[in-house]
Homo-oligomer: A and B are copies of this chain.
Amino acid sequence: MRLSADPSTSPTDYDFTHDIRVRFVETDAMGIVHHSNYLHYFEETRVAYLREIGHPFTEWREAGLESPVLESFVQYRKPLEFDDLMTVHLHLAEVTRATFQMAYLITVAGPDGVAQVRATGVTVHGCVTTQGRPTRLPAWLVTMGAD
């Protein structure tokens, strides 16, 4: 297991936020969001983060690079329901020459406006060429990790 990041439940420990509203299709017969969809929320937020910092995913793909997910972890703390407006918090957690980790926190504003924790998670990514051969991370990403 490469996964080492321990995702905080405090929003202030994260660098970036992105809002997503739960779609009806994402619910299941338990009346809550199906657990597999959290990985979609993390991915949408990761894509929004990379765009925000000026290195959109489309740039990676044009450069012949992909960042496949090597490991994923999700802790489901309190269910999300249909139409919930969640905030996904993201933090670039660990960077080596070959992999990087993203930590995530999902919150929903409670009736009192205070953020309630719904889930935390981590994804570990590698870097491969579009032919699927492992390669080094882009230099800018390694530099970010050194901060």
- Residues of A bordering B, CB below 8 Å: 1, 3, 21, 23-25, 27-32, 34-37, 39-40, 43-44, 47, 56-58, 61, 66, 68-76, 79, 81-83, 132
Residues of B within 8 A of A27 (CB): 28-29
Task: State the copy count for this chain.
Answer: 4
CA distance A31 to B128 in the complex (A): 13
Give the residue of B25, B35, B57, B76 whose beta carbon is less than 8 angstroms from that of A34: B25
- B66 adjacent to A83 (CB under 8 Å): no
- B66 adjacent to A30 (CB under 8 Å): yes
CA distance A25 to B21 in the complex (A): 16
Most buried by B among A32, A57, A71, A82: A71
